[in-house]
Structure 1
Amino acid sequence: MSIHPDHGHHAGHEADTTAAALIAEPPRADPAGDDTLDLRVDDLVALLTGGRPTPPATAPTSDSGDSRLDGDLLDSVASWAPADTRFGGFRLVPVRLGRDLPLLARWMNDPAVAAFWELAGPDTVTADHVRAQLEGDGRSVPCLGVLDSTPMSYFELYRADLDPLARAYPARPHDTGIHLLLGGVTDRGRGVGTALLRAVADLVLDHRPRCTRVVAEPDIRNTPSVSAFLSAGFRYAAEIDLPDKRAALMIRDRALRHVL
């Protein structure tokens, strides 16, 4: 999730020319059915108070020794299996600032990315944005997207149902939000964004059994991004007003993952 004083989210520059992101406001309608699911008591407390549910009794830790990098509230993103795409093998690697900051800051200063992420500037701007997640409670996990051993994209996976976003749309327990940016110009405009969106949504649904939906919110003006989400199996759920944009609420449903 994009970190701001109001804990809001930014759209990234996705979809073959741009990157994807999530936020939301109450959709006018969500025909996908019942928005109530079983909710553990600790998750309910977190949802109502903004606190942190009790993590699993045992959770793998990252090589840095900080279990937050493994995403306690996202079922240990660092342990997720790789995915195959038509562009090669893909995996998510939780960000380590000491290793990854120069690359991330360079991507954030690409004008095409900066137009949506609004994180251009010195390295400290990107560092503050990422550090807020790394030092948080594990509900948001920033990751490098690595394609055939090459870091080429940036993802943020987060618990949309435990985020202030949940006040802006009919969230379900364990809804998972994603943001994406493609770092290299050569990876834009040839279907890579669509392939990665589908791969990451599948990873979420494969490794988060209680998650029934993956959500995102590209700027409504960003037609290539909306198109990439649709091609990746998301449905257009609503047009929503956010503090900084008019957005398309995109949802990928577990029940429809093999149909769309």
Structure 2
Amino acid sequence: MPPTEAHPGTATPPAVDRGADDTLDLHLPEELVALLAPERTSKRTHGDLLDDVADWQPAATPVGRFQLVPVRPDRDLPLIARWMNDPAVAAFWELEGPESVTAEHLRAQLEGDGRSVPCLGVLDSTPMSYFEIYRADLDPLARHYPARPHDTGIHLLIGGVADRGRGVGTTLLRAVADLVLDHRPRCTRVLAEPDLRNTPSVAAFLGAGFRLSSEVGLPDKRAALMVRDRALRHVL
């Protein structure tokens, strides 16, 4: 699930530079930059674009105590690169190769404006998954669906083979979606855009309370747009 993912009151997606490669970042209009400026001027007083992921509290889950820990490349790069070279992961993330490939992927987020935060998923003190929490409304994904302000997206991989295929991913997806909704009061829904061919991933999102909103044609895949609505979080 690498970054690539008509309703009344739906926000118009941010303006984009159509001359740029479709995989490049959005060019935000000056008005939106001005609106976001108070969030970005001081993390301590205003919060960042994702409401300080580093400060989110751990969650108790049926499989253990889970926490999102923002990535530090000096500490985490070898582990994440090893996961990216697992054939089951590489088939969808397409980041296999030397550590420099993963390092560049992380660098683009860590040196960006904060609209995407790469995190280790730590379960009972053991790093066992990788998440990216991102502002879907500020992502190129917003070109492909009717985005709303503060839509928040999730990318996920489960690192250890032993943690796959037994419901752990579903449990963690629900936990992370709840963390987003608990800590981002302006966010009304959590999104994901797994590859339609990745049926285990789509099934995991469905089991975690997401609904299949639509199929979306993205530059590098046909995706299932999965949505978990704040209004339905205690129902699904």
Task: Identify whether the pair has TM-score above 0.5, normalized to the shorter chain.
Answer: yes
Larger relative contact order (CA 8 Å, sep ≥ 6):
1
CA distance in 2, matches of 1:224, 1:247: 13
Residue 128 of structure 1: which of 101, 104, 109 is its match?
104
> Does 2:87 correspond to 1:111?
yes
CA distance in 1, matches of 2:212, 2:116: 24
CA distance in 2, matches of 1:247, 1:259: 25
Aligned residue pairs total 218
Per the alignment, do residues 152 and 35 of structure 1 end up closer, same or farther by CA in structure 2, a change over 3 Å counting?
Answer: farther
Residue 165 of structure 1: which of 141, 152, 162 is its match?
141
Per the alignment, do residues 148 and 243 of structure 1 end up closer, same or farther by CA in structure 2, a change over 3 Å counting?
Answer: same
Check whether the contact 2:42–2:48 (CA below 8 A) recurs between aligned residues.
no
Matched to 1:221, the amino acid is R
Check whether the contact 1:218–1:249 (CA below 8 A) recurs between aligned residues.
yes
Residue 177 of structure 2: which of 170, 192, 201 is its match?
201
CA distance in 1, matches of 2:227, 2:216: 13
Residue 74 of structure 2: which of 98, 106, 131 is its match?
98
CA RMSD, Structure 1 to Structure 2 (Å): 2.2
Structure 1, unpaired ranges of 5+? 3-8, 11-22, 24-29, 38-45, 62-70
Q: CA deviation at 1:246?
A: 1.2
Secondary structure of the corresponding residue to residue 153 of structure 2? strand
CA distance in 2, matches of 1:36, 1:196: 29
Matched to 2:212, the amino acid is Y
CA distance in 2, matches of 1:221, 1:56: 37
Residue 48 of structure 1: which of 12, 17, 29 is its match?
29
Matched to 2:93, the amino acid is W
> Does 2:43 correspond to 1:59?
yes
> Does 2:171 correspond to 1:230?
no
Secondary structure of the corresponding residue to residue 74 of structure 1? coil
Per the alignment, residue 34 of structure 1 pairs with 8
CA distance in 2, matches of 1:247, 1:96: 29
Check whether the contact 1:237–1:248 (CA below 8 A) recurs between aligned residues.
yes
Runs of 4 or more above 4 Å deviation? 49-52
Q: CA deviation at 1:59?
A: 2.4
* TM-score (normalised: structure 1): 0.79
Matched to 1:242, the amino acid is L
* TM-score (normalised: structure 2): 0.86
CA distance in 2, matches of 1:146, 1:224: 21
Secondary structure of the corresponding residue to residue 220 of structure 1? coil
Matched to 1:243, the amino acid is P
